[in-house]
Amino acid sequence: MTIRRPIVWVHGDDLSPENAAIAANPVAPAIFVFDDRAIERYKVTLKRIAFIYECLLELPVVIRRGDPAVEVLAFAREHDADAILTTPSPAPGFRQIVRTLERNLPVDILSGMPFVPDLHYDLGRFSRYWRTAERHAMSAADE
């Protein structure tokens, strides 16, 4: 299938300016959705929300709040999109969101350069994740 009018869904696990989905189609409209339910469920702090927002200001994205699947699909309809481009995420709800999106449009998950090797991480707290990831990220930087 040829993709002619994709949109890009940027999520919290890839806020990099080198996001592979943005890089694959830099002129495609892009969206980020603050997931209200996840923010409540995981008790995301205002400090973390502000950090995410500051990262988003460096990306060419429209920012919305709500249910990611609902908002991404509405954005796709607004732009007459024929596909959704995104990047992988280890987040527990990511696969469910992708399955919901795929009922309406093809979703292409594009991998970029991994920050750290694909290991099992404790995603409950950033500090625990970072303690594990830091060893790999810093050792790769020394190479």
pLDDT, tens digit (0-9, with 9 covering 90-100), for 2-42: 889 999 999 999 999 999 999 999 999 999 999 999 999 99
- Same domain for 78 and 120, yes or no, is no
The answer on pLDDT for 80 being more than 80 is yes
* Same domain membership, residue 51 and residue 11: yes
Q: Are 12 and 38 in contact (CB under 8 A)?
A: no
Let me know whether 62 and 80 are in one domain: yes
Give the span between the Cα atoms of 18 and 101, in whole angstroms. 24
Does 1 map to a domain? Answer: no
| Domain shared by 68 and 128, yes or no | no
Helices 68-78, 94-102: crossing angle, 10 deg rounding? 40
Total domains present in the chain: 2
As beta bridge partners, residue 65 has 34
pLDDT at 141 over 50: no
Comparing 27-41, 60-74, 124-138, the range with the smallest average pLDDT is 124-138
Residue 132's domain comprises 115-143
Residue 127 and residue 89 in one domain: no
Q: How far is CA 77 from CA 40, 62, 80, 133, in A?
A: 28, 14, 5, 37
The 6-10 sheet, strands edge to edge: 62-66, 30-35, 6-10, 83-86, 107-109
Q: Which of 105, 109, 101, 110 is nearest to 83 (CA)?
A: 105
Q: Do 108 and 128 share a domain, yes or no?
A: no
The residue ranking higher by pLDDT, 114 or 46, is 46
Q: Tell me what pLDDT residue 76 has.
A: 98
